Structure 1
Amino acid sequence: MFASNDFTDLTAEFVRNPTQLIGIPLAIVGAVFLSLGAQFQHRGVTKVEANSGVDARTGLNVGQLKQLLARPSWVLGTLMLGFAIAFQLTALVWSPLIIVQPLGAIALVITAILNARINKVDLNRASVIAISACVGGVALFVTVAALVAGEKPVTRADLITVLIMLAIVLVLFALGFVFFRKRSRALFYILAAGIIYGFVATLAKVVINRIVNQNFDWLTVLCVVALLAATGIGAYFVQTAYSSGPPDLVIAGLTVVDPMVAVAIGIVVLDEASNAPLWAMIGFVVAGAIAVWGVFQLARHHPQAQNHAQASG
């Protein structure tokens, strides 16, 4: 059970450092831009795919990528995603990662509503339940993390470990894309992007802290390079996912997988929950299972996802 002193300690931390609350509204504004950006980018990708006559579900080709740069809707969506990133990074300056990152789940709700209105698609009961599971699972996951986790200084060894893990993840997904892309569905690209962006969020927080503390060395430069490379690869997977799934499914995967990976890195690698009790570990597993179940159910039951599956079948 939750100990009363857990809530007391959490409350006391905000009382001691109320500026941590500044990141919350910034992250919410970022979530709104994320939702709008996803909607516009999805529209741009689907139009480019239709105009080119080439199925992009196995990966956007160079010609299609060039055409995206000429699509006003995609360019506008990219600008909005840029604003979303800017707000999120600013929020990370003020607030811990475990508070800022999961607030992106708000984007899922906004995207689902926008997508249903724009495309005149009625979300069925299974889709609504799946979205609720995604948001509820993430909220529970982060609540547990906020109660038992605490930020600690990131050592050089920790940072090198994170970079090695990211390199392994990028290689594995690259190999998966090369050898299995003809059989891959939207979920592959969504999960790949979510996992990669979990590392991006962690590295972004680390880089910001090192710059603020005037600790800009070769390792910081390496982190920036890794962050940019991971962001580019993740963005490619996201654009490909748009061609084989609705935008709210893409956002669901990102807002569920991204924060859980980031928090998991904090717990496993950065030792931010070294004193977590057994109930917290059980809570992490249960919350994560609920959220991931929601993503898979949304991929299975979303009306537009079903239309994509029928078209590809």
Structure 2
Amino acid sequence: MNAVTGTVVAVLLSLVSAAGYALAAVAQSRLASASTGGRGALRRLLGRPQWWWAVGLNAAGALAHVAALHYGPLTLVQPLGALTLVAALPIGAYGAHRRVSRTEWRGAAWTLVGLVGLVAVTGPTAPDEALNLREALIVTGATLLLIGLLASRSRSRAGATTGLGHATASGVASGVGSALTQTLTAALARDLPGGPSGWWQTALLAVLIAAFAVGGLLLSQAAYRGGLAAPLAVVNLSNPAAAAVIGVALLGETFRAGAWGWVVAAAASLVAARGVVLLTTGLGTESPEAVTGTESGAVPSPRLDAVVPSDVTEALAVPEPVR
């Protein structure tokens, strides 16, 4: 396969990956909006077919992403993954019978620019390097402490802050899982040290990767209770940020373009933060006319009413709009 054909295939697979992740995020958001929480919430979630559809879509998106990296460079494939946010906004709005507000579109644009700028300067400079077992365990312990801190702070707050806290934890878990996956791949390619006992190191890394993958998925599910756009943006930002921290701190990597890379990364982070703020506040900026089927003078319906069963809607009916 020549370079042009490989690039085309990589782009197509990247678009498939972004669509899979976007559909999965929308499905998770709908499940979160209909969830009552409390004890047994996880058991009820695992018993819903929609949850397993979301899991399958996430898996399909991951496989398409890995396949795209096989045919195209990281500098091309990784920025295209940011299209997940662009695809998720209209899909989620369509399912909720509303239009995407201008503020949300601006927030998505700012976030995409920041994310692409961040990814452009944080690509690995030495992809054959990997964490050793001791470093992998240290990273695992530190990540678990950070996730626990973010989760505990999220439980003590309400609204969008809760969603963003869980979203940050989800992105960090996924980023660490990616770093461990790179370690496992490199280790298998050159055989793990330790002779006959090397198999248990491989098995341990596989277990850690699976745990972070499942944890990231469950944390994102919790994050979407605070909405879709802002948590999804934070997940997509904290993922490469966590991987970049590991690369710089432990693998001897550095930002591309040297010192200017640090400047670009800082500026991109500020731009992306501006986008997240707009996405967080943009959900309340739609006019009544922006909501499909809302008549003049009528009380707008909740955005996610299409995914809540009618009996639940009737039981929760109040004379004021649901916030």
Q: Is the 8 A contact 1:98 1:263 kept in 2?
A: no
1:35 equivalent to 2:25? Answer no
Q: Is the 8 A contact 1:194 1:253 kept in 2?
A: yes
Query: Cα distance, 1:120 vs. partner?
Result: 2.4
Cα shift readout 1:251-276 (whole Å, capped 9, x = no counterpart):
21222221232233223321222784
Query: Cα distance, 1:72 vs. partner?
Result: 3.0
Q: Counterpart of 1:123 in 2: which secondary structure? A: coil
Higher helix share: 1
Larger mean CA deviation between 268-277 and 107-116 belongs to 268-277
After superposition, residues 265-276 of structure 1 pair within 5 angstroms as 265-273=246-254, 276=257
Q: Which amino acid in the other structure matches residue 244 of structure 2? A: V
After superposition, residues 282-301 of structure 1 pair within 5 angstroms as 282-301=263-282
Query: Cα distance, 1:188 vs. partner?
Result: 0.6
Q: Counterpart of 1:120 in 2: which secondary structure? A: coil
Q: In structure 1, what is the equivalent of residue 211 of structure 2?
A: 229
Q: TM-score, normalised by structure 2?
A: 0.75
Aligned counterpart for 1:90 among listed residues 63, 67, 70: 67
Q: In structure 1, what is the equivalent of residue 146 of structure 2?
A: 172
After superposition, residues 299-310 of structure 1 pair within 5 angstroms as 299-303=280-284
Q: In structure 1, what is the equivalent of residue 115 of structure 2?
A: 138
Query: Cα distance, 1:304 vs. partner?
Result: 9.0
CA distance in 1, matches of 2:136, 2:145: 14
CA distance in 2, matches of 1:97, 1:217: 30
Q: In structure 2, what is the equivalent of residue 202 of structure 1?
A: 179
Q: In structure 2, what is the equivalent of residue 8 of structure 1?
A: none
After superposition, residues 1-313 of structure 1 pair within 5 angstroms as 23-47=10-34, 49=35, 54=36, 56=37, 61=38, 63-93=40-70, 99-145=76-122, 150-157=125-132, 160-178=134-152, 181-183=155-157, 185-215=162-192, 217-245=199-227, 247-273=228-254, 276-303=257-284
CA distance in 2, matches of 1:279, 1:104: 24
Query: Cα distance, 1:211 vs. partner?
Result: 2.9
Q: Is the 8 A contact 2:167 2:235 kept in 1?
A: yes
Q: Is the 8 A contact 1:249 1:295 kept in 2?
A: yes
Report the CA distance shift for 1:142/1:21 in structure 2 as closer, same or farther (over 3 A).
Answer: farther
Q: In structure 1, what is the equivalent of residue 294 of structure 2?
A: none
Q: TM-score, normalised by structure 1?
A: 0.77
Q: Is the 8 A contact 1:68 1:75 kept in 2?
A: no
Larger mean CA deviation between 90-99 and 231-240 belongs to 90-99
Q: Is the 8 A contact 1:99 1:142 kept in 2?
A: no
Cα shift readout 1:20-78 (whole Å, capped 9, x = no counterpart):
8855433331111011111122222322x2xxxx3x3xxxx452222223333222222
CA distance in 1, matches of 2:181, 2:76: 15
Report the CA distance shift for 1:155/1:72 in structure 2 as closer, same or farther (over 3 A).
Answer: closer
Report the CA distance shift for 1:196/1:204 in structure 2 as closer, same or farther (over 3 A).
Answer: same
Q: Which amino acid in the other structure matches residue 140 of structure 2? A: L
Percent sequence identity is: 24
Q: Is the 8 A contact 2:78 2:119 kept in 1?
A: no
Q: Is the 8 A contact 1:98 1:145 kept in 2?
A: no
Query: Cα distance, 1:102 vs. partner?
Result: 3.9
CA distance in 2, matches of 1:311, 1:199: 41
**Structure 2 segments unaligned to the other structure (5+ residues):** 193-197, 287-301, 304-319
Cα shift readout 1:97-152 (whole Å, capped 9, x = no counterpart):
56544432111000001112221223333222111011111112222345xx5224
Backbone CA RMSD of aligned residues:
3.3
Q: In structure 2, what is the equivalent of residue 7 of structure 1?
A: none
Q: Is the 8 A contact 2:112 2:272 kept in 1?
A: yes
Query: Number of matched residues?
Result: 283
Query: Cα distance, 1:286 vs. partner?
Result: 0.6
Bigger Rg over Cα: 2
CA distance in 2, matches of 1:274, 1:45: 37
Larger mean CA deviation between 113-122 and 68-77 belongs to 68-77
Report the CA distance shift for 1:276/1:287 in structure 2 as closer, same or farther (over 3 A).
Answer: same
